[in-house]
Amino acid sequence: MSGQESVNEKPEEIKETERQAHYSNPLKFGKGGPSKLRQQFNRGMTYFLVVAASLIFYFTLLRLTDLSEVIGAVIGVLKPVIYGCVIAYLLNPVVRQIDQYLVPVLQNKMKKPEQAEKISRAVGILAALVLLLVIIVTLCNLLIPELYSSVRNLVITLPKQLNDLVSELSKMELDESTTSTLIKTGLKEGTDMLLTWLRTDLMGKANELMSNLTVGVLNILSEVINAVIGVIVSVYILFSKELFVRQSKKCVYALLSARHANLILHLTMKSHEIFGGFVIGKLIDSAIIGVLCFIGLTILKMPYALLVSVIVGVTNVIPFFGPYIGAVPSTILIMLDTPIKGVYFILFILLLQQFDGNILGPKILGNSTGLSAFWVIVAILLGGGLFGFVGMLMGVPSFAVLYYIVRMLVNSHLERKNLPTASEFYDTMSFVDDAGNYCHSDETRKTDIAEQ
Question: pLDDT per residue over 53-78, tens digit each?
Answer: 888 888 777 777 777 788 888 888 89
pLDDT digits (tens, 9 = 90+) for 273-322: 888 888 888 888 888 888 899 899 889 888 888 888 888 888 888 877 78
The residue among 282, 327, 284 whose CA lies nearest residue 308 is 327
Are both 247 and 360 inside the same structural domain? Answer: yes
Mean pLDDT (whole number) for 18-35: 52
> Helical H runs in 240-338?
241-255, 258-299, 305-315, 322-337
Count structural domains, the chain.
2
Residues 118 and 48 in one domain: no
Q: How many CA atoms lie within 13 A of 252 on its CB side?
A: 17
Range of the domain at 58: 43-71
Grade residue 95 by pLDDT with cuts at 50, 70 and 90: very high
Signed CA dihedral, 300, 302, 306, 307: sign only: negative
Residue ending a domain, among 314, 335, 370, is 370
Give the range among 6-10, 52-56, 171-175 with minimum mean pLDDT.
6-10
Residue 361 lies in a domain: yes
Judge whether 136 lies within some domain. Answer: yes
Task: Band the pLDDT of 210: cuts 50, 70, 90.
Answer: low
- Using alpha carbons, list the distances in angstroms from residue 242 to 92, 95, 275: 12, 13, 19
Compute CA distances 275 → 97, 282, 387, whole Å. Answer: 18, 10, 17
What average pLDDT does the segment 81-94 reach? Answer: 91
Q: Where are the alpha helices (DSSP H) in 356-372?
A: 361-365
Same domain assignment for residues 297 and 264? yes
pLDDT at 74: 87
* Segment (H or E) for 431: strand 430-432
User: Is 439 part of a structural domain of the chain?
Assistant: no
Examine the domain organization and report whether 230 and 108 are in the same domain: yes
Query: Does residue 129 carry a pLDDT above 90?
Result: yes
Do 259 and 312 lie in a common domain?
yes
Minimum mean pLDDT range among 122-136, 202-216, 288-302, 404-418: 202-216
Computed from CA positions of residues 250, 255, 257, 260, in that sequence, does the dihedral angle turn out positive or negative?
negative
Dist. CA 134–CA 306, nearest whole Å: 19
What distance in Å separates the CA atoms of residue 352 and residue 296, rounded to the nearest whole number? 9
Residue 246 is assigned to a structural domain of this protein: yes
pTM over 0.85: no
Q: Which residue in 377, 366, 357, 369 sits closest to 397, CA to CA? A: 369
Dump pLDDT digits (tens) for 310-361: 888 888 888 777 878 888 888 887 887 777 888 889 899 889 888 887 888 7
Q: Do 231 and 339 fall into the same domain?
A: yes
pLDDT tens digits for 247-269?
A: 999 999 999 888 889 989 999 99
Are 149 and 64 within one domain? no
Q: What is the pLDDT of residue 209?
A: 58
Same domain, 154 and 60: no
Q: Between residues 124 and 196, which one has the greater pLDDT?
A: 124
Assess whether 230 and 341 both reside in one domain. yes
Which of 52, 71, 90 finishes a domain?
Answer: 71
Per-residue DSSP letter, 26:
P
Contact assessment for residue 414 and residue 407, using Cβ atoms and an 8 Å cutoff: no
Q: Decide if 110 contacts 116 (C-beta within 8 A).
A: yes
Residues 302, 329, single domain; the answer is: yes
Are 127 and 50 in the same domain? no
Between 41 and 236, whose confidence is greater? 236
| pLDDT score at 234 | 93
Q: What is the mean pLDDT of residues 365-369?
A: 69
Q: How far apart are CA 17 and CA 20, in angstroms?
A: 5
Is residue 227 included in any domain, yes or no?
yes
Specify the pLDDT at position 273.
87
Residues 269 and 363 in one domain: yes
* Of 86 and 389, more confident: 86
Q: Decide which of 330, 351, 370 is a domain's last residue.
A: 370
Structural domain contains residue 241 = yes
- The answer to whether 35 and 29 are in contact (CB under 8 A) is yes
Residue 221 CA to residue 215 CA, distance in Å, equals 10
User: In the predicted model, is pLDDT for residue 367 greater than 90?
Assistant: no
CA distances in angstroms from 243 to 117, 175, 239, 248, 303, listed in the order given: 14, 79, 9, 9, 52
Q: Which of 124-128, 162-166, 241-245, 398-402 has the lowest mean pLDDT?
A: 162-166
Burial track 75-93 (b if 16+ CB lie within 10 A, e otherwise): eeeebbbebbeebbbbbbe
Asked whether residue 104 is domain-assigned, the answer is yes
Percent of the chain with pLDDT over 90: 15
- What is the pLDDT at residue 15? 58
Element (H, E) at 128: helix 113-170
365-371 average pLDDT score: 71
Is 362 within a domain?
Answer: yes
